[in-house]
Structure 1
């Protein structure tokens, strides 16, 4: 009995051992080739300055095709018929497609975003009451980053078909300061212009907008609206306000004092 088992094991090893080793070798070569060729294509696309989402998509497709081809060749080494396997995969794919409609919807929406490019990585967008810097675009979702470094992950199917506000890679700050009615407006506006021009975060093009925003009862409102890169919005706003305060103090330009009118009413006569 033991001899029969040993002979059967030896016969199986002799008959199928080389096929198994050959199939494993083919799979190993396929994975190595997929990794090598994917890296080569990725570097080539980086030199051509292809956008990351499209570059990652092409690299993943190339890797997947190589691995699938290696798997088909490995199955052929075992003597499997490919046609029934493909048919079975097709039937199973229909069932999986119905079960994963949401996931597939995100994938199709991701492909639409990648190829139509309504926005790109590094741009500031607003959609569905969510806003932030686009840090990553994948096949399934788009990731926005807020100034506090928190992230908002939006499924791509929630983006396609919606109204999208793309601010681009720069934004206009809307700053305001108030001066008294008797202040020298030319001096105040010149101080604002010098502070804006001296800030390295402010872009030269488009030209910053400065002027009188409103004449109010308590004073005159001056608007300062320079353009900065999206990543410089928060620090630029703080730096410009600090510069304006210091410049106004140096030029003895005061700020309006809020006046409150207080009326004293005599107590009603006793009934």
Structure 2
């Protein structure tokens, strides 16, 4: 019984000694972490306002703000550990060795991160642009640190790793695209009348943009007829619908005005001696 009481007294004494020695340091460490959290939020809000002025996309702004907050919290965590008397040099050395091994095992992911940072800061395209790259094309829906997501008109999505984008030839259409419509009319057609009708059709279509001004004219004198090129601009989401609407309206208007659409023709001549 006496030994049990002595052991209990020793535990209480040790606990009291630990509380006296490390209690204030632990309280200070907690205060440092709370201060780091508050400073991180303040810096994050400040950085958010700065990035808005730089016209960066929302996903990019959120990523950079989160990184800044984590860096500040990590710095304050190091200060808290130092206050508790933790030896940081062996810990940093161990983390360095482990980090080297992780880096070798995650070369692809690190490559995507570096490429993502390159895209974020060089800004070759923005969310909402229509781009073509790596045999894929679509509207940019999201730009993250690891990948870029493209959307198609059939509502499907293509996720491209960022390392497949940096260093490749990129075609950025921006937020508008040009329709390339070619139609053939007979050589007996009054071309000026046909061009006037097409101009009226483009002006009446709400999807066709007034600026840039649509371009149209005779592009080729083909074997079977005159080829008229029609190249109006539309917003990226209206591309497919605009092609269908303009083609259908041209077909109906030409049929109503008796303008003949040129058809492929082949003339065969038979030569021989007369009987």
TM-score range, shorter chain: 0.7 to 0.9
Q: Displacement, 1:167?
A: 2.3
Taking structure 2 as the reference length, what is the TM-score of the superposition? Answer: 0.80
User: Residue 50 of structure 2 aligns with which residue?
Assistant: 44
Q: Which runs of 4+ in 1 moved over 6 A?
A: 257-261
Give the Cα separation in 1 of the matches to 2:123 and 2:192.
45
Question: Which one of the candidate residues 120, 132, 142 is aligned to 2:138?
Answer: 132
Match status 1:185 vs 2:166: no
In the alignment, the residues of structure 2 paired with residue 27 and residue 84 of structure 1 have an alpha-carbon distance, to the nearest angstrom, of 22
CA 143–77 in structure 1, closer or farther in 2 if over 3 Å, else same: same
1:157 paired residue number = 163
Which of 238, 242, 249 is 1:236 aligned to?
242
Cα distance change of structure 1 residues 188 and 41 upon mapping to structure 2, 3 Å threshold: same
Contact 1:30/1:70, CA 8 A, preserved across alignment? yes
Q: Is the 8 A contact 2:186 2:226 kept in 1?
A: yes
Q: Does 1:212 align with 2:218?
A: yes
2:17 is equivalent to residue 17 of structure 1: no
Paired residues in the alignment total 261
- Relative distance call for 1:49 and 1:164 in structure 2 (3 A) is closer
8 Å Cα contact 2:60/2:144 also seen in 1: no
Alpha-carbon distance in structure 2 between the residues aligned to 1:99 and 1:258 = 61
**Offset at 1:218?**
5.7
Q: Which runs of 5+ in 2 are unaligned?
A: 268-275
Moved more, 209-218 or 39-48: 209-218
Cα 1:149–1:173 change in 2 (3 A) is same
- CA distance in structure 2 between the aligned counterparts of 1:100 and 1:48, rounded to whole angstroms: 32
Change beyond 3 A, Cα 1:14–1:238: farther
